Amino acid sequence: MLHKNPARAQSFELAFGQAHVFYPDATDERYLRHRRSLMSQAMAQLMEEDTPDPDEVQETAAEEEWAIEERISLNEQRIGAVVAALRASGAKRVLDLGCGEGKLISALLKDRDFSEIVGVDVSYRSLEKAQDKLRLDQLAPAQRERIKLLHGSLIYRDKRLNGYDAAAVVEVIEHMDFARLAAFERVLFEFARPKSVVLTTPNAEYNVKWESLPAGKMRHRDHRFEWTRDQFQSWATGIRERFGYDVRFLPVGPEDAIVGAPTQMAVFEENETYTTHTSHTSYKTYKRNS
Ligand code: SAH
């Protein structure tokens, strides 16, 4: 029988309070395995989501998506486009929301202009992989200090995300239940409120161009939705109106005359003078809290 070992208790901050997870007394290897799965279960419970373990979901489906998109190394083009947009915004302190295994973080780390890079993910296992792939424990202290990895869900308000210059949200929203999107919008655009947000999502119209993707299917088993350009642009325009951000759209990857590019990107810039309308207050002018 395993006992709870208080030395191995771990607490993590959530928007609505602290969660405590106790890990059983066991060998280090078993402890690590347990810790991972308990963290994920606890997070899933706290999220009250009817979704399976976020770690499992990511692992099984990510490879399939990679295989479909590999031919044009879309992933690299996407990261290049996101880094360029972040750089153009003049951001120094940036969030990578839904950072996964840290590919964008790795690209940002190479550019000294980014003084602080914070990766956030709901999947604890992805964060562990990011930590390994980025070789955080081998980095020189000056480099190491630029990076922080946080375990958390983007559908809960989180004070740790306040006060940044920019946030990247790369191929994340389509992994959220459609019903949670409204909560995410407020967490990011109302509470965390970075000056710029660079957000990408698949362009569903382009799916007809993937030979290996059966008609009508989405690119990744965990995608809850994939949007056409019209759908994405009307969602982003809604953000502009409700939260006071200007928005522009850019295609990423080879652009087809009819169906567009495989990835669609929106760049939001806070417009401080905007008077906006939210469901909670009638009319409100957003002010930066920093
Ligand atoms: N941005 C990365 C990973 C994209 S995959 C890249 O481009 O490579 C989507 C990621 O979003 C996964 O790592 C998943 O765990 C994370 N994610 C999904 N829902 C989330 C939520 N509610 N809060 C935080 N992360 C979430």
**What residue segments make up the domains of the chain, in order of their start?**
4-46, 61-285
Torsion sign across C-alpha atoms 219, 178, 175, 86? positive
Mean pLDDT check: name the lowest of 89-98, 146-155, 268-277: 268-277
Share of the chain above pLDDT 70, in %: 70
**Ligand 1 nearest-atom number relative to CA 180:** 22
Q: pTM of the entire structure?
A: 0.79
Q: Is 203 in the pocket of ligand 1 (CB under 6 A)?
A: no
Strands 93-97, 166-170: pairing is parallel
Q: Is 58 in the pocket of ligand 1 (CB under 6 A)?
A: yes
- Tell me the CA–centroid distance for residue 173 and ligand 1, in Å: 8
Q: Answer yes or no: is pLDDT of 238 > 50.
A: yes
The two structure tokens encoding residue 228: 């056409």
Q: How far apart are CA 31 and CA 2, in angstroms?
A: 10
5-52 per-position pLDDT tens digit: 444 444 444 333 344 443 334 444 444 455 555 556 555 555 544 456
Share of the chain above pLDDT 90, in %: 63
Asked if 204 and 264 touch (Cβ cutoff 8 Å), the reply is no
Query: Whose alpha carbon is nearest atom 23 of ligand 1?
Result: 153
71-94 per-position pLDDT tens digit: 558 999 999 999 999 999 999 999
Q: Is 86 in the pocket of ligand 1 (CB under 6 A)?
A: no
Q: Is 175 in the pocket of ligand 1 (CB under 6 A)?
A: yes
- Tell me the CA–centroid distance for residue 175 and ligand 1, in Å: 7
pLDDT at 210: 84
Give SS3 for 201. Answer: strand
- Tell me the CA–centroid distance for residue 125 and ligand 1, in Å: 11
- Tell me the CA–centroid distance for residue 84 and ligand 1, in Å: 21
Strands 263-270, 245-252: pairing is antiparallel
- Name the range with the highest mean pLDDT among 13-27, 133-147, 276-290: 133-147
Q: Is 123 in the pocket of ligand 1 (CB under 6 A)?
A: yes
Q: Is 200 in the pocket of ligand 1 (CB under 6 A)?
A: no
Asked if 5 and 23 touch (Cβ cutoff 8 Å), the reply is yes
What confidence tier does 213 reach under pLDDT thresholds 50, 70, 90?
confident
Q: Answer yes or no: is pLDDT of 132 > 60.
A: yes
**Ligand 1 nearest-atom number relative to CA 103:** 8
Asked if 95 and 269 touch (Cβ cutoff 8 Å), the reply is no
Mean pLDDT check: name the lowest of 196-205, 210-219, 222-231: 210-219
The Cα-based distances of 217 to 7, 61, 204 in angstroms read: 47, 13, 9
Q: How far apart are CA 255 and CA 261, in angstroms?
A: 4
**Ligand 1 nearest-atom number relative to CA 123:** 15
Q: Answer yes or no: is pLDDT of 69 > 90.
A: no
Q: Answer yes or no: is pLDDT of 288 > 70.
A: no
Q: How far apart are CA 247 and CA 245, in angstroms?
A: 6
Domain 61-285 has CATH 3.90.190.10: no
Q: Answer yes or no: is pLDDT of 216 > 90.
A: no
What confidence tier does 119 reach under pLDDT thresholds 50, 70, 90?
very high
pLDDT at 270: 96
Q: Is 260 in the pocket of ligand 1 (CB under 6 A)?
A: no
Mutation test residue for ligand 1: of 125, 175, 199, 226, the one with most atoms within 8 Å of CB: 175
Q: Tell me what the mean pLDDT of segment 162-175 comes to.
A: 98
The two structure tokens encoding residue 197: 């947000």
Q: Residues 6 or more apart from 238 whose CB is under 8 A from it?
A: none
Q: Is 39 in the pocket of ligand 1 (CB under 6 A)?
A: no
pLDDT at 43: 58
pLDDT at 55: 75
Query: Whose alpha carbon is nearest atom 9 of ligand 1?
Result: 172
Q: How far apart are CA 195 and CA 197, in angstroms?
A: 7
pLDDT at 22: 37
Please report, to the nearest 10 degrees, the dihedral formed by the alpha carbons of residues 59, 197, 134, 107 taken in order: 120
pLDDT at 40: 60
The Cα-based distances of 109 to 96, 119, 175 in angstroms read: 12, 12, 26
The two structure tokens encoding residue 211: 């030979």
Secondary structure E strands in the chain: 4-14, 17-24, 93-97, 116-121, 147-151, 166-170, 196-202, 245-252, 263-270, 275-277, 283-285
Asked if 209 and 256 touch (Cβ cutoff 8 Å), the reply is yes
